[in-house]
Amino acid sequence: MNIQGLQKLTLLDFPGRIACTVFTAGCNLRCPFCHNSSLVINPPKDSEFPDDEIFSFLKKRQGVLDGVAITGGEPLIQPDIEEFIIKVRELGYPVKLDTNGTFPDKLKRLIDNKLVDYVAMDVKSSRGGYPQCVGIKDYDTSKIDASIRLLMEGRVDYEFRTTVAKGLHTEDDIRGIGEWIKGAGKHYLQEFKDSGDLIGFGLEPFSKQEMNGFRDIMLGFVSECEIRGL
Ligand code: SF4
């Protein structure tokens, strides 16, 4: 695994758990609002945290932490992600996985083998808005479709989430997302924030009122919709 970051304690990343967060390097998308561009574009080839170091940390924290969140970048581009998760679970830790939904086959394997306890998947925009939101011309959303359908089978606890930015998203996109994931449980709208390490430029956050309006739209399609970051 190419691990470039370790947050030793988080109460936010894994719902209901005291966890740590592992940050993997690299991603197959180029979302303009990505706040981790240095982790995504030309990530260092060597892991800053060798697996041994992570596992020795996890052994020391047994009984203190009760979960491991794995995020990126896109964790599923790591060739040895499954082996890594198996070892984390052997130490007794439930695993939360963040994914952009572009590897439905890998995700299915992890779910089939009961290797993940919670999955947070990005739904970046409506189908039509995807190319602009992932920074790839003519992006084909069939893999996103497959991952949405897979999670909506309900075999693992999950959430969908969308980071919204003025300049990228419109009310129609929010409605399109709602139609796409209609019947899902939890959806989170995340406010865009300029981290200073973005891929794109010229983006702005929506106002509180606009975000509330988006939430009202989403509540027409999903059971729960909350706003993060306001
Ligand atoms: S925001 Fe987009 S580019 Fe950044 S890590 Fe997530 S999927 Fe990759």
Closest residue by Cα to atom 1, ligand 1, is 34
Q: Is the pLDDT of residue 230 over 80?
A: no
Which pLDDT does position 214 carry in this prediction?
Answer: 98
| Ligand 1 centroid – CA 68 distance (Å) | 20
| Ligand 1 centroid – CA 37 distance (Å) | 8
SS3 annotation, the chain: CCEEEEEEEECCCCCCCCEEEEEECCCCCCCCCCCCHHHHCCCCCCCCCCHHHHHHHHHHCECCECCEEEECCCHHHCCCHHHHHHHHHHCCCCEEEEECCCCHHHHHHHHHCCCCCEEEEECCCCCCCHHHHHCCCCCCCHHHHHHHHHHHCCCCEEEEEEEECECCCCHHHHHHHHHHCCCCCEEEEEECCCCCCCCCCCCECCCHHHHHHHHHHHCCCCCEEEEECC
Q: pLDDT for 97-142, tens place per residue?
A: 999 999 999 999 999 999 999 999 999 999 999 999 999 999 999 9
Q: Is the pLDDT of residue 229 over 90?
A: no
Closest residue by Cα to atom 4, ligand 1, is 34
Q: Is the pLDDT of residue 197 over 90?
A: no
Which pLDDT does position 195 carry in this prediction?
Answer: 86
| Ligand 1 centroid – CA 100 distance (Å) | 7
Q: pLDDT for 6-60, tens place per residue?
A: 999 999 999 999 999 999 999 999 999 998 888 899 888 898 999 999 999 999 9
